[in-house]
A and B are shown apart, each in its own frame.
Chain A
């Protein structure tokens, strides 16, 4: 292989990216060395098994990926602003919409949600950590190196270009001969394994590590949604694992799963992809519902309306989400019985979702609403998400779908669901739990600027797309001619996208500004919260709770505050706390995964095998490891708690 094939060449944008990457790496290395932070980085972050730190790392990566995916989006909007634009060529445009979709779903939305899960769930259920802290670190690093592997594709070897759904036969060797789709198959596989382990980890954590007295029906709504999300992850991700493995076999070893000859069936890929892909949508939306439920209830100062109905509807979705996948390819033409069945199940999902919308509205009714930034996101979510949901029901009608399919109508629909649902929830959750993570609040003024810019920009960008879709503009076209009359709406959409970009910049500035000048959270409970995470200091001590709280009701902390008990730490009750030890092995094993993946992408099997040996070695070492963790002494707990209270 020649160097000119190894590195992507010929595009000024790519050269600029090359330079930026090299400069960033040099910058990071320089800063770490200059401030002597290498040991700190290793001890505090790379080897940590603390769920709070792992959560923060997830969120940092998610924000970086939001940047990357957002730049992709802006490039696409720039290209489509006017007819016959020459800004991007067809190939480059293909690569950009592929990476945009893949990154936003798998490397932005999921890790953002998983990051919030990591930070919040153990605190909400009164636990000291997750069930398997070591595995949690491994999950994160596998996700991280999977994401890195995917991201280097655009400078080394070339990006995948067959869409985020990577449909066959387009994604086969015959039509996509480069290494781009190998990256897709391998990188998603690596981070997918991490996600599966997260699912198992949090399911067991929630089922087995709740504080005494916290029955299932006293769990905070966010924890409930995470529980069901974990169930969906556990049963959906193995399907992706298999689908990607078959794709890898087809591409690397010339098997005939999805080929056009020797009995291969291209549509089987679409089938397997969406058996995972539809539940995946619920993986990112259910925790978002949970976040909004917490925020609406906190800032309306009311108990969540219809808690039981909410739980029931979430559990219902755990079943329904697995029996709707064919609606993604109604146009394959699988006969009236199949299309009718999946059409009905799809529409049925609107019922549990509708139940939730009414629950939020009734929670707001007669509440003493505080319009914080987090609450603004939650309030904006409801109408915007309903627009996405209603157009979803339109798409669910199989006959009508033949008209909407793969048009900008669809694009508008799923962005209304995923942005107004998941992205709004990520921003809401970030503002809401930020003090818990970092000990200071995000600036509310800047936060509201972000909100208005992003929310208005979002509507300006995507609402016209419904009409572009009805006017016949189809998805994934890289340019169009002037006579089609699409230009005005495309210009509007691009303006909206720019507003969203500015909103994101304000958010980043807010993070910087608040770190320097932000209001410190001395109480640990800045919002007058209802659930147990607000009973800890901000940020919480390493062990979360000095004494495991006793739960007597839903909204455990709210009830404690009302009754004025269960809050103070009685020093004579303290006992030594058992904590798991840090380990560098998850990080190192994941690096080995990265190299194994890289080897597979380029069919350098020697590298892949050597890296695989390192992975197995890491697993063997883990098997023989009998580190039982360590105890934090009572004296140390006393010191930490006194310090925290002196702050308060």
Chain B
């Protein structure tokens, strides 16, 4: 695609300037498509099993609005601040980018903290992964999302280090952009966890 390379002038965002970057960003989008299928399977499993509680507690017994709402707001806000980070990057402001990435990280860490607390709370109430099919599917679905967020935090730290070392380059800009896609996507997944797991669980 030699032609395509020429179509991009200096006014294009930095993350799109090399052929490699454009390929990587597209590849990551495709990967997110695969992630949709992955989470869809976990949701399917959960929705098939969520009323099969055996002798264990039901969703209604366990879920509490307050905890879930705090987690939701933390993650939603972190998605917003992550968007601001990209906004700053496209204005060529390294300090702004770093600040918002750091805020995103902290909000993500807050989310994970609350989620772990929630899980520990359930376990103390005798609701473990081994208790019933409902709880197995609940812990694996929500846990997989949490594992993704944790991975995202580690990944973002690596990228912040690289930004500090190297500043803005097509390579670092592309990495920031890709991690931002990942982060927003995790919020998309959470929206459905919030809706199909927690809200639905409190209704039925």
Partner-B contacts on A (CB < 8 A):
131-132, 196, 199-201, 203-204, 207-209, 212, 234-239, 241-243, 245-246, 249, 253-257, 259, 261-265, 268, 271-272, 275, 548, 620, 623-624, 626
B42 close to A265 (CB less than 8 A): no
B56 within 8 A of partner (CB): yes
Chain B 22-37 interface mask (CB, 8 Å, partner A; 1/0): 1110110011011101
Contact-residue size bin, chain B (C-beta under 8 Å from the other chain): 35 or more
Please tell me which one of the listed residues B48, B129, B158 contacts residue A623 in the complex, with CB atoms under 8 A apart: B158
In the complex with contacts A200-B30, A200-B31, A262-B56, A256-B38 CB distance below 8 A: no
Q: Which residue of B lies closest to A203 (CB)?
A: B30
Contact A239 B37 (CB under 8 A): yes
Query: Do A238 and B38 touch (CB < 8 A)?
Result: yes
Residues of A within 8 A of B3 (CB): 212
Stretch at the interface among B79-87, B115-123, B133-141, B191-199: B133-141
Asked if B41 contacts A272 (CB within 8 A), the reply is yes
- Whether B41 contacts A238 by the Cβ 8 Å rule is yes
Could you say which residues of chain B place their CB within 8 Å of the CB of A624? 158, 162
The answer to whether A264 and B140 touch (CB under 8 A), given A212-B3, A235-B34, A237-B34, is no
- Taking a contact as CB atoms under 8 Å apart, the answer to whether A262 and B34 are in contact is no
Residues of B within 8 A of A620 (CB): 158
- A234-B162 CB under 8 A given contacts A256-B130, A257-B137, A275-B41: no
Is B72 part of the contact surface with A, judged by Cβ < 8 Å?
no
Residues of A within 8 A of B175 (CB): 623
Please state if A253 and B2 are interface contacts (CB–CB under 8 Å). no
Could you tell me if A204 and B30 are in contact, using CB atoms closer than 8 angstroms? yes
Could you tell me if A131 and B27 are in contact, using CB atoms closer than 8 angstroms?
A: yes
Residues of A near B56 (CB, < 8 A) are 262-263
What would be 9 A-B contacts, judged by CB atoms less than 8 Å apart?
A: A204-B26, A208-B22, A234-B34, A237-B34, A246-B136, A257-B136, A259-B133, A263-B56, A264-B52
The answer to whether residues A268 and B48 also contact, given A200-B30, A257-B136 and a CB cut-off of 8 A, is yes
Residues of A close to B33: CB separation below 8 A: 234-235
| A268–B137 CA distance with the chains assembled, in angstroms | 12
Contact across chains for A262 and B54 when beta carbons are under 8 A apart: yes
What is the bound-complex CA distance between A268 and B49, given in angstroms?
9
Residues from chain A with a CB closer than 8 A to the CB of B27 are 131-132, 200-201, 204
**Docked pose: A264 CA to B133 CA in angstroms:** 5
Within 8 A of A (CB), among B45-83: 45, 48-49, 52-56
Report whether B171 and A256 are in contact in the complex, using a CB–CB cutoff of 8 Å. Answer: no
A264 surroundings in chain B (CB, below 8 A): 49, 52, 133, 136
Q: Which 5 A-B pairs have the closest CB atoms?
A: A263-B52, A263-B133, A262-B54, A238-B38, A255-B136
Chain A contacts for B129, CB-based, 8 A: 249, 253, 255
Structural contact, B130 and A255, CB atoms closer than 8 A: yes
Provide the residues of chain A in CB contact with B159, threshold 8 Å.
623
Q: Known interface pairs A235-B37, A263-B49. Does A256 touch B54 (Cβ–Cβ under 8 Å)?
A: yes
Q: B37 to chain A: which residues have CB within 8 Å?
A: 234-236, 238-239
Question: CB-CB < 8 A to A623: which residues of B?
Answer: 155, 158-159, 162, 175
Identify 5 new A-B residue pairs, CB closer than 8 A, beyond the known A257-B136, A264-B133, A624-B158: A255-B140, A257-B49, A263-B49, A264-B49, A268-B49
Q: Point out the residue from B23, B55, B158 that lies within 8 Å of A262, measured CB to CB.
A: B55
- In the complex, which of the residues B33, B53, B56 has the most CB atoms of chain A within 10 Å of its own CB atom? B33
Q: Is the CB of B140 within 8 A of A208?
A: no
* Option from A236, A243, A253, A256 in Cβ contact (under 8 Å) with B133: A256
Q: Are B45 and A268 in contact, CB atoms less than 8 angstroms apart? A: yes
Q: Which of A131, A201, A212, A262 contacts B132 (CB 8 A)?
A: A262
Query: For window 119-159 of chain B, which residues contact chain A by CB distance below 8 Å?
Result: 129-137, 140, 155, 158-159
Instruction: Tell me whether A238 and B133 are in contact in the complex, defined as CB-CB below 8 angstroms, given that A246-B140, A262-B55 are known contacts.
Output: no
Q: B41–A253 contact, CB under 8 A? A: no
Cα of A246 to Cα of B43 in the assembled complex, Å: 13
Query: What residues on B are CB-neighbors of A239 within 8 Å?
Result: 37-38, 41
Beyond A261-B54, A265-B48, whether A131 also contacts B23 by CB under 8 A is yes
Nearest CB in chain A: distance from B38 CB, A: 4
**Across the interface, which residues of A come within 8 angstroms of B155, CB to CB?**
623
Q: A204-B26, A249-B136 are in contact. Are A212 and B2 (CB under 8 A)?
A: yes
Neighbouring B residues of A245 by C-beta, 8 Å: 140
Q: Which residue of A lies closest to B131 (CB)?
A: A262
Given the complex of chains A and B, what is the CA–CA distance between A624 and B159 in angstroms? 9
CB of B41 within 8 A of CB of A243, answer yes
A268 to B136 alpha-carbon distance, docked (Å): 13
CA A208 – CA B30 in complex, angstroms?
13
Q: When the two chains form the complex, which single residue of A209, A237, A253, A265 contacts B130, counting CB atoms closer than 8 Å?
A: A253
Residue among B22, B27, B54 having the largest count of chain A Cβ atoms under 10 Å? B27
Contacting pair B132 A256 (CB below 8 A): yes
Does B1 touch A at the CB level, under 8 Å?
yes
For B140, list chain A residues within 8 Å (CB): 245-246, 249, 255
Could you say which residues of chain A place their CB within 8 Å of the CB of B131?
Answer: 256, 262
Q: A256-B131, A548-B2 are in contact. Are A242 and B34 (CB under 8 A)?
A: no
Give chain A residues whose Cβ lies under 8 Å from the Cβ of B134. Answer: 263
Q: How far is the CA of A245 from the CA of B24 in the complex (A)?
A: 27
Nearest-Cβ distance from residue A385 to partner chain B, whole angstroms: 29
CB-defined contacts of A238 to chain B, threshold 8 Å? 34-35, 37-38, 41
- The chain A residue sitting closest to B141, CB to CB, is A242
Closest A-chain residue to B54, C-beta based?
Answer: A262
Instruction: Please indicate which of the listed interface residues A241, A254, A262, A271 has the most CB atoms of chain B within 10 Å of its own CB.
Output: A262
Q: Smallest CB-CB separation from B130: which chain A residue?
A: A254
Report yes or no: A209 in contact with B1, Cβ–Cβ below 8 A.
Answer: yes
Taken together as a complex, chains A and B put the C-alpha atoms of A265 and B106 apart, in Å, by: 39
Pick the residue among B1, B34, B44, B162 that contacts A208 (CB under 8 A).
B1
Minimum C-beta distance from B197 to chain A (A): 16
B residues in contact with A255, CB < 8 Å: 129-130, 136, 140
A203 to B29, CA, bound (A): 12
Give the docked Cα–Cα distance between A400 and B129 (Å).
41
**What 0/1 pattern do residues 1 to 17 of B give for CB contact below 8 A with A?**
11100000000000000
Instruction: State whether A242 and B130 are in contact (beta carbons under 8 Å apart), knowing that A200-B30, A262-B54, A264-B52 are contacts in the complex.
Output: no
Residues on B with C-beta less than 8 A from A263 are: 49, 52-54, 56, 132-134
**Looking across the interface, which residue of chain B has its beta carbon closest to that of A201?**
B27
Q: Closest CB of chain B to A617's CB: distance in Å?
A: 12
Contact B171 A132 (CB under 8 A): no
Q: With A253-B129, A254-B130 in contact, is A241–B38 under 8 Å at CB?
A: yes
B25 CB to nearest A CB, Å: 10
Q: Which residues of B contact A271 (CB under 8 A)?
A: 48
Inside 8 A of B48's CB, which chain A residues have their CB? 265, 268, 271
* Chain A nearest CB, measured from B67 CB (Å): 23
Contacts of B132 in A (CB 8 A): 256, 262-263
On whether A246 and B34 interact (CB within 8 A), knowing A253-B130, A256-B132, the answer reads no
Query: Given A254-B130, A257-B49, A268-B45 in contact, is the A242-B26 Cβ separation under 8 Å?
Result: no
List the A side residues contacting B137 at CB < 8 Å.
257
**Chain B, 162-204, contact with A by CB distance < 8 Å: what is the 0/1 string?**
1000000001000100000000000000000000000000000
Query: Which residue in B1, B38, B53 is a CB contact (below 8 Å) of A242?
Result: B38
A237 to B: closest C-beta gap in Å: 7
CB distance from B4 to the nearest CB of A (A): 8
